Amino acid sequence: MNHPLFTFIYTFSIIFLASVLFDPIKTLNTKILLSLICATQVLSFTLLFYWLKARILQLKYVQTIITTLPNLISTIFGGLLFMLVFDLGLNSYEFLDYFLEQFTTGLSVFCILYGAHHAKNILFKDYALVALALIFQYLISTDPIFYACFIFPFLMCYFALKYQIREVSLLLGTLTLICSMYLSIPLAGEYWSADHTHMLSRLSAYRLALSCYLIISLFICEIYLKNRRLNLAFERMMFRDELTGLKNRRFVREKVLKDPQFHQGFILLLDIDKFKNVNDVYGHHVGDLAIQHITNIVRHCCPVQGSALTRWGGEEFLLVIPHGTEAECRQMCDAILARCHEMPFRLNGREMVITVSIGATVFERFNLETYEALIQLADKCLYEAKDAGRDCYVFEVAKPLV
């Protein structure tokens, strides 16, 4: 079904049927010739599309390029065939109108097909917004060119900044196709009339505006999505620990301390017991595996939504729980210590119990003002747990700041 020959046959049949139904003025020979030109144009578009898609994957703005460039080249080719077949010479009006009509229609149809499988990802209110914009423009506009230039650029930019490239293609392709048909259908059959040469120039300007809006919006969408991906990658690099996948200390300072939800909770500062021995005896690779093992244990014992689990240092972890009580703090400490014994670390068929020591405290609020005092208190409790023999926790209530 995807072979270019089938594309040619189906396109020829559809265009020929459409020309018969909607344009009773053109002769049969004219309809056949136009259908053949359009089918040849679509065939060249298909070949160009797959050729480009296989070769420009490393370039910037790939989605916009493979959407617009094959359509542009194939439409120019179709326009030249149109002039040759109908012996128009170098008449620029007819060529320009044919080129823009085919380019705008072809681009919008391709965008619709490109994003059709993602229609369910678009909110219903945005479909309604498209319909309302079309109705509103139709009611207020006495000039067709004004119809295209008032609301649609803003609406297209709104969609470009809200959705992925395929959803944007579907919405903007639908919008462009409806707008193009709005003027094209009433003028069917009048194209060949010399009395409407002035209308061709206005219609060409209208189509040029629509196609420019669509292409610019696709560029905006792709640039915005690329920048958003770069920002997310930058945040992952800045705020995430590579070994464990947890957030790091910078994340606590930049994000958690500025989050108003962290009040009336508790802090756990955990340290792996005798971790240096693991590294010295088994090597740093096994030490990394041990860190990942303890990470999984703490994650399992901390299902609290909104909590912040970070890798605080080499073998240290910081867990900040919002809306927690002293009883819940003690219960979570007991759960983590018990889990370490229930789930020993396995290495080459051998089992090794890796324990942790915990310093714990509760807080009324966790922000820039209380941050240092709370961390120092949790660190003090942690070292007391180490001195008490490890594999235990020490809890102390933080003194309120004056």
Tokens of 238: 């800045």
402 domain residue, yes or no: no
Name the more confident of 2 and 385: 385
Name the more confident of 394 and 349: 394
Grade residue 182 by pLDDT with cuts at 50, 70 and 90: low
46 domain residue, yes or no: yes
Q: Looking at 214, 236, 258, which one is the last position of a domain?
A: 236
Question: In this prediction, what percent of the chain has a pLDDT beyond 90?
Answer: 15
Grade residue 9 by pLDDT with cuts at 50, 70 and 90: low
Q: Are residues 224 and 96 in the same domain?
A: yes
Kindly give the residue spans of alpha helices, DSSP state H, lying in 240-283.
Answer: 249-254, 275-282
- Domain count along the chain: 2
242 domain residue, yes or no: no
Question: Of the candidates 65, 12, 74, which has an alpha carbon nearest to the alpha carbon of residue 47?
Answer: 74
Q: Are residues 198 and 98 in the same domain?
A: yes
Name the more confident of 137 and 390: 390
Tokens of 115: 């994003």
pLDDT in tens, 18-64: 655 566 667 777 777 877 887 788 888 888 888 887 777 667 778 88
Amino acid, single-letter form, for residue 164: Q
Edge to edge, the sheet with strand 316-321 lists 308-311, 316-321, 263-272, 356-365, 393-395
80 domain residue, yes or no: yes
CATH number at residue 290: 3.30.70.270
Q: Are residues 356 and 221 in the same domain?
A: no
Cα–Cα–Cα angle for 314, 319, 322, nearest 5°? 160
Q: Are residues 178 and 48 in the same domain?
A: yes
pLDDT of the residue at 25 = 66
| Domain residue limits at 276 | 249-395
401 domain residue, yes or no: no
243 domain residue, yes or no: no
Pairing of β 316-321 and β 308-311? antiparallel
Q: Are residues 270 and 367 in the same domain?
A: yes
Cα–Cα–Cα angle for 353, 351, 319, nearest 5°? 40
Q: Are residues 171 and 260 in the same domain?
A: no
Q: Are residues 369 and 322 in the same domain?
A: yes
102 domain residue, yes or no: yes
Q: Region 293-317: what's the mean pLDDT?
A: 86
Please state whether the predicted TM-score (pTM) of the whole model is above 0.75. no
pLDDT in tens, 117-133: 888 999 999 888 888 87
Question: Of the candidates 206, 148, 184, 193, which has an alpha carbon nearest to the alpha carbon of residue 18?
Answer: 184
Q: Are residues 153 and 50 in the same domain?
A: yes
213 domain residue, yes or no: yes
pLDDT in tens, 310-341: 999 889 999 988 888 889 999 999 999 999 99
